[in-house]
A and B are shown apart, each in its own frame.
Chain A
Amino acid sequence: MNLFFLSILIIASGGILALIFWRQFTLMKAIGVFGISAGCLLGLIDALSKLFNPGQYSFSVNYLNTLSLSFKIDGLSAFFLVAIFAVSLLSAIYSFHYMDKPEKALRTAVNYLFFSLLIASMALVVTAENMIAFMFSWEIMSLSSFFLVIYDHQSPENRKAGYLYFVFSHVGAMFILAAFGVMYGYTGSFGFTAALPESAKILVFILSFIGFGSKAGVFPFHVWLPHAHPAAPSHISAVMSGVMIKTGIYGIVRMYWVLDLHTPLFGEIVLIAGMVSGILGVVYALGQHDLKRLLAYHSVENIGIILIGIGIGMIGVSFNNPIMAALGFSGGLLHVLNHSIFKSLLFMGAGVVIRKTGTRSIDALGGLLKNMKITGVTFLIGSLAISGLPPFNGFVSEFLVYLGGFQGVAMDKTPFVLSLLAIVSLAVIGGLALACFTKVMGVVFQGEPRTPAAEDVNEKGPAMLVPMLVLAGACVVIGVFPRAFVLMALKGVESLGLASGSVSLAPFVQITGNITLAVAIFFAVFLLILVLRWVLYRGKTVGRSGTWGCGFTQPTVKMQYTGSSYAASILAFFKPVAPLHEDHPAIRGRFPNKTHYHSHVDDIAELHMGTVIVRPILWLFDQLRWIQHGDIHLYIGYILLAIVVLLFFI
């Protein structure tokens, strides 16, 4: 455990030292980046060694002589630690060239401080072993990320995003606290124990699922996510979307393990939530015009895929199908790692684009691939990976989840129907994600620049490019040689003791071997075609000219298909859940006036949140306003009354 705490200490001191040296801008950044990345590297090595050498790694301290804070690293914690430290390490390096405004030196220094606190608290969340330690770390995590979100607090939009995030994370924390309260009420201990009656367990699981789900971005608790991610600086979005929301997933899996109740209800709740988040997340993503908002909705989608995997695993556990359980859980966990890799890669790529062009609007960009080769190619790899295509990492985890789902097809009644729905939704999610990322690639990186903002861009800043190259490399390596990584996920599952006790590793090794073989053959065929192409083009005349306009001789860049037009017909299919609003005055008369087109897609959760939740609560509190009258004497009376009432009860 010492190495683990040492790494957290180094990370935190990196942040604190950065704040002390804020007047020297470059020095401050160098210290911050060095401290954070050195600590993350140490933590990463430590977490990997603990993942492959499972044992009892625990530590506990008595805080203020009353509360005991204890921490423990098991396989599940170590697995999440690997993702947290790996992504944070690369994001820290990325930030060195991304944070390039010397006039905002103090703010940048504060950013490094909270960044380091966020990493440290995430690491503590996944290792906390009792409720006090968990809530402590959870709150530090929520607050530090709140301060990171409002980095650009001048813009009212960002302040609103920060406020929304603040409310959501604290309402979520309240639900978790309520769940812990119910547990404490039965057990009388702050430790995570399962000495509860069954009905209390179900209540605890549902409460904590809402709480953790709001952090993870499960539909309909995801409303903060598409606001907070665009507001935060890109390396923060990468960490928040890549790993911070996964602490919600960790919480759900951990609570499932703690409660140790194998009712199919839990699996059904998780699976249905996963399917809804998955499909709606990607549908809303298709309708976005803001690059970072689009990526944020894809986080909702991928959280959905992860939950589908975990839900299948839970159903496998409750119906005594260890293979299904192992496939579902390992697929879900591997997708946690995979998503943290490709999503942080995509956010970093989006960050470079936004930094160099100054706009987040997809339809204002175009043709960036020509000047931003590294960003474009790594973004392409990220897009292929998130669409779940072979030979990239997203495919491997989705493959495992599919195999788990097909195990459920052999059952009857409810698990059959749910598995069927899970498989079909995964297929639909895959197709929609492909549509969405061909849109992003095609509109942002390909074609011709739509506005001057996208012309003459460059991609200077090696500290931004190297992490993206590393992440893109990881996408390919996991996609081609998934063996070690699937085993890693299985190690994480093993510590849950749910299923792997009776499942041998051989079939999993075989699955990964099959993927490697198939991909190798694919590459071999590709090489053959490459040679064939080279032979066919040898000595031929190859000319260049404009794109064929089908007879039209005056094409302009404005005629290109935009992101909105690309997505329009798919969105029309999903009209009931994704109402599309268009503002387009019709062109009339011989000398028509200037016209415009504007469209946006409503998120039904956001749309109804106001009327269904916020307004009734406001009404209720309005009715209670007479308590708050401003008379200080009566307030003192309230306090006295409260103390007297409490004296009777305690």
Chain B
Amino acid sequence: MTKSILLWGLAIILAPFFSAVILKVKAFFGGRKGSPLLINYYTLIKLFKKGSVYSTSTTFLFKLGPMVSLCAAVTVLMFLPIAGQPPVLSFNGDIIFILYLLGLGRFFTIAAAMDTASPFEGMGAAREAYFPIICEATMFMILILFYILTGKLQLAAYFSGGHPLGLWQAAGSPLLFVVISFFIILLTENSRVPVDDPATHLELTMIHEVMVLDHSGPDLGFIEMGSFCKLFFYSTIVASLIFPFELGHPALNMGVFFVVLLLVYVAVGVMESVMARYRMDRVPKFVLTSFALAFFATLITLEFVK
């Protein structure tokens, strides 16, 4: 238990570092030296030191938004098994709770954006409300597959304990689809290229960045922290699927796990460097691909693997 809590704390502390890896990869592809790997910590400290300016249009919901989205992301990490270790919290159906908790965070992020009366933020909010609908359908499709494979509805049962899910298991081949499908969800839910572009602030093309235009100071810091944690959550699941942690020694497992996790972040960075953002009306098709992949994976599992 103490170990799980420590890992949870470690995850929160390391999340900003991993996100900076993406920036470094992008800088490498751009032929630049790039900002230091600790840049996100500097940014957070800078933001936490500042005060804030609030729009006269806003209400208490504007201040509640960053807190709830951070709270949801941090709570969700408690359910996450890291490197095959049991998580802090786990119960039957916890994954449904997790998905709906992330939904709660999204509700408040959107509410905070709509609070500003800004048309740009409204635009971002409408997109933020739209794309995750398809993601949720995919997530539940993947859950159905996981349920068929393990008979459990518990994140800890998938990625920790004696028989974790992974590409190298008997059911590994359909899981390859799931890895790709989950990677698409990761990109969509965390507003990365090709769905969204976290680097620019050109409002008309943005989803997440434009929704937080009016936030400043510690509030903005909370939002950033929340998105680091959320990205860490999704990346860990992808890493866990790729690598099943059966090396015999916990410390060895842990070390290799973090290397795999780093590779997932590097993959996101490479993706952002070599691809352009899709036009907004193409995004749903891209996200629907993930649903199709998850669906095929389920069919294949039913017919051949079982």
Contacts and interface: CB of A to CB of B under 8 A. Distances in A.
A368 to B, nearest CB: 10
B70 interface: yes
A65 B288 CA distance: 66
Contacts of B213: 548, 550
Interface in A557-598: 557, 559-561, 565-570, 573
B130 A570 contact: yes
A18 B113 CA distance: 48
Interface stretch (B88-96, B159-167, B242-250, B258-266): B88-96
Contacts of A384: 104, 107
Interface in B170-227: 203, 213-214, 217-218, 221-222
Given A389-B104, A390-B97, A367 B57 contact: yes
B111 interface: yes
B139 A427 contact: yes
B106 interface: yes
Given A387-B107, A390-B97, A409-B144, A557 B117 contact: yes
A442 B114 CA distance: 5
Given A409-B148, A432-B133, A526-B68, A544 B56 contact: yes
A406 B93 CA distance: 10
Contact of A560 (B99, B117, B151, B221): B117
Contact of A399 (B96, B106, B217): B96
Interface in A536-563: 536-537, 540-550, 555, 557, 559-561
A195 interface: no
Contact of B48 (A388, A423, A441, A536): A536
A428 interface: yes
B129 interface: yes
A547 B129 contact: no
Contacts of B10: none
Interface in B133-167: 133-134, 136-137, 139-141, 143-144, 147-148, 151, 153
A617 interface: no
Contacts of B71: 522, 525-526, 529
Given A399-B93, A515-B97, A565-B122, A550 B203 contact: yes
A380 B112 CA distance: 13
A369 interface: yes
A431 interface: yes
Contacts of B72: 522
Contacts of B281: 569
A428 B214 CA distance: 30
Contacts, number: 233
A427 B94 contact: no
A177 interface: no
Nearest to B71: A526
B293 interface: no
Nearest to A447: B117
A424 B75 CA distance: 25
A425 B275 CA distance: 32
Contacts of A517: 89, 91
A403 B111 contact: no
A438 interface: yes
B115 A446 contact: yes
A543 B53 contact: yes
Contact of B140 (A423, A541, A555): A423
Interface string A402-421: 11001001100000100010
A555 B214 CA distance: 15
Contacts of A484: none
B50 interface: yes
B172 to A, nearest CB: 20
B130 A569 contact: yes
A540 B119 contact: no
A536 B59 contact: no
Contacts of A530: 67
B55 A438 contact: no
A529 B105 CA distance: 14
A307 to B, nearest CB: 19
Contacts of B56: 544-547
A542 B53 CA distance: 6
B12 to A, nearest CB: 11
A397 to B, nearest CB: 12
B101 interface: yes
B119 A561 contact: yes
Contacts of A322: none
B78 interface: yes
A574 to B, nearest CB: 11
A544 B63 CA distance: 13
A426 B125 CA distance: 22
A369 B116 CA distance: 13
Contact of B129 (A369, A438, A514): A438
Given A424-B141, A518-B94, A550-B120, A409 B147 contact: yes
Contact of B114 (A395, A438, A533): A438
Contact of B214 (A406, A424, A548, A566): A548
A552 B148 CA distance: 54
A525 B74 contact: yes
Given A438-B111, A514-B92, A543-B51, A369 B136 contact: no
A511 B93 contact: yes
Given A438-B114, A550-B203, A537 B284 contact: no
B292 to A, nearest CB: 12
A376 B59 CA distance: 11
A363 to B, nearest CB: 12
Nearest to A547: B55
Contacts of B55: 544-548
Given A441-B114, A447-B117, A545-B56, A435 B140 contact: no
A177 B79 CA distance: 53
Nearest to A524: B75
Contact of B107 (A376, A438, A543): A438
B100 interface: yes
Contact of A547 (B117, B125, B141, B298): B117
A431 B48 contact: no
A650 B104 CA distance: 66
Contact of B52 (A406, A416, A434, A542): A542
A187 to B, nearest CB: 43
B133 A559 contact: no
A308 to B, nearest CB: 13
A470 B57 CA distance: 29
Contacts of B125: 438, 442, 561, 566
A387 B108 CA distance: 12
A407 B280 CA distance: 38
B103 A540 contact: no
A497 to B, nearest CB: 26
A409 B140 CA distance: 12
B140 A427 contact: yes
A550 B54 CA distance: 15
Given A389-B107, A424-B140, A521-B89, A566 B133 contact: no
A420 B218 contact: no
Contact of B137 (A424, A543, A570): A424
Q: Lowest 8 CB-CB distances: which A-B pairs, in order? A: A561-B122, A442-B114, A431-B133, A540-B51, A447-B117, A435-B129, A514-B91, A547-B55
26 contacts: A367-B117, A384-B107, A388-B100, A390-B97, A390-B104, A410-B147, A410-B151, A416-B302, A424-B141, A430-B103, A434-B129, A442-B114, A448-B117, A510-B91, A518-B75, A526-B68, A536-B217, A536-B218, A541-B51, A542-B52, A542-B53, A544-B56, A545-B55, A547-B117, A565-B122, A569-B127
Interface of B: 48, 50-59, 61, 67-68, 70-72, 74-75, 78, 89, 91-94, 96-97, 99-101, 103-104, 106-107, 110-111, 113-123, 125-127, 129-130, 132-134, 136-137, 139-141, 143-144, 147-148, 151, 153, 203, 213-214, 217-218, 221-222, 280-281, 284, 298, 302
